[in-house]
């Protein structure tokens, strides 16, 4: 798999595209993430718990908005603290909603960088599943070295 550099990944995240191919849309709508890329078929979040990770970005968006606006309100206005609090809370909530898709696409980039996104498996199962056979063929541990597909010994009775 070719590595994609950080700048490209960041751009793809901003454009809400698949981090792997950069073409498939990650979002169905503002709040609805696609399960998989429509172009390269990777699954974005295999683990539903990834939503907790994306919340770090929600939190960051809320904090940055809160702090920046707080500084602005404190310097530029004479609003009461209670009024400021309401404005700041509303702005932080709005920031989370607005940034929602980007929180998720940025998190998906991190998932991708950590190896959590894989291309759809094109595995060739050697000899098919072992469930049909009752013959317990000794399975050799796949100690590296052999690149060729090991020939499975077939026991016929």
Q: Three-state SS for 23?
A: coil
Is the Cβ–Cβ distance between 70 and 91 less than 8 Å? no
Binding of Zn ion by 25 (CB under 5 A): no
Q: At closest approach, how far in Å is the CB of 19 from Zn ion?
A: 8
Q: At closest approach, how far in Å is the CB of 50 from Zn ion?
A: 16
Which C-beta is closer to Zn ion: that of 39 or that of 113?
39
Binding of Zn ion by 96 (CB under 5 A): no
Binding of Zn ion by 37 (CB under 5 A): yes
Q: At closest approach, how far in Å is the CB of 16 from Zn ion?
A: 12
Buried b or exposed e, range 10-21, using 16+ CB within 10 angstroms: eebbeebbbbbb
Which C-beta is closer to Zn ion: that of 21 or that of 69?
21
**Whole-angstrom Cα distance, residue 157 to residue 149?**
24
Cα torsion 7, 8, 12, 15: sign: positive
| Residue 76: count of CB within 10 angstroms of its CB | 8
Q: Which of 25, 36, 40, 55 binds Zn ion (CB under 5 A)?
A: 40
Binding of Zn ion by 53 (CB under 5 A): no
* 42 half-sphere exposure, CB direction, 13 A CA radius: 23
Binding of Zn ion by 21 (CB under 5 A): yes
Binding of Zn ion by 18 (CB under 5 A): yes
Residues that bind Zn ion (CB under 5 A): 18, 20-21, 24, 37, 39-40
């Amino acid at each position: 798999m070719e590595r994609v550099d950080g700048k490209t990944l960041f751009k793809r995240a901003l454009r809400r595209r698949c981090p792997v191919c950069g073409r498939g849309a990650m979002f169905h709508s503002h709040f609805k993430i696609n399960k998989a890329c429509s172009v390269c078929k990777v699954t974005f979040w295999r683990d539903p718990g990834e939503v907790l990770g994306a919340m770090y970005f929600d939190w960051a968006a809320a904090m940055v908005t809160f702090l920046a606006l707080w500084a602005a309100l404190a310097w530029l206005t004479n609003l009461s603290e209670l009024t400021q609090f309401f404005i700041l809370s509303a702005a932080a909530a709005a920031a989370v909603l607005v940034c929602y898709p980007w929180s998720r696409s940025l998190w998906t980039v991190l998932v991708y960088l950590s190896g959590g996104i894989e291309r759809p498996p094109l595995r060739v199962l050697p000899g098919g599943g072992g469930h049909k056979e009752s013959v317990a063929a000794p399975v050799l541990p796949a100690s590296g070295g052999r690149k060729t597909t090991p020939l499975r010994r077939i026991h016929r009775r």
